[in-house]
Amino acid sequence: MPLIRPYRAEDAPALAEICTRTALSGKDATGVLDDDALWGDLFALPYAERDPALCWVVESDDGRTIGYIVATDDTDAFETWFRDVWWPSRSRRYARLGRAEKTRQDELLAYADARGPAREPNAATHPAHLHIDLLPETQGMGLGRRLVETLLGELARRGVPALHLGMNPENTPAAAFYARLGFEPLPSAEGTTVLGLSTGADRRPPAVRG
């Protein structure tokens, strides 16, 4: 049975690869961009870099990393750091192609360039957010649920009340998975679906001060 364990720095290449291989609503996006590394630089590696304690990986019986969950406990603080620290260290790698017809890479780079705090209204009530990606070989093992429950436990321990995530509204398998976990729809911009979930932090007993 695959093992869920805390992220380690040496897992970074595997996170980037899994992110690419699942980027199209769970399907392989290899070759869609001029540079596949952009997927991981936007949606996986910055989370592991800023707060590795909110990142876990799935390790197969033969020692391969085959899935992960990454998160932040404060979306606006994370987006400020992404804008000011992370993206300036990465953005020069990626050419802005400037073609008459925008490519998927151009769209993602425009998204990255525009990131910053206060862009996600749901962060006021659901300050944490996550990304979870699992290779097809992990399906049917309950690993997605276990990863989310692991994250929820740590967020609750930190006193974070709720989290959100964004997804492609056409990704019906993912929508069904999140519904089973108790995620509920939140106000969403056109072309995306935002879901939210309480961490249960408000139901935990207060810490004993000694």
Give pLDDT tens digits for 30-57. Answer: 999 999 999 999 999 999 999 999 999 9
Instruction: Please report the pLDDT score of residue 202 as a whole number.
Output: 72
Q: What is the dihedral angle through the alpha carbons of 120, 22, 200, 175, rounded to the nearest 10 degrees?
A: 80
In Å, how far from its chain's centre is CA 188? 17
Mean pLDDT of all residues in 143-153? 97
> Residue 210 has what pLDDT?
40
Mean pLDDT (whole number) for 105-134: 96
191 exposed, middle or buried (CB, 10 Å; 0-12, 13-18, 19+)? Answer: exposed
pLDDT at 205 exceeding the cut of 60: no
pLDDT, averaged across the chain: 93
Mean pLDDT throughout 122-126?
A: 97
Mean pLDDT for 154-168 is 97
CA angle in degrees (0–180, nearest 5) for 13-55-139 = 80
| 75-98 tens-digit pLDDT | 999 999 999 999 999 999 998 766
Answer for the pair 97, 103: CB distance below 8 angstroms, yes or no.
yes
Map tokens 């050419």 to a residue.
95
**Alpha carbon distance 160, 158 (integer Å):** 6
Question: Which tens digits make up the pLDDT trace of 184-201?
Answer: 999 999 889 999 999 998
% pLDDT > 90, the chain: 87
Domain 3-203 in this protein, CATH class: alpha beta
pLDDT reading at 156 higher than 50: yes
Whole-model pTM: value is: 0.92
β-pair type (65-72, 56-59): antiparallel
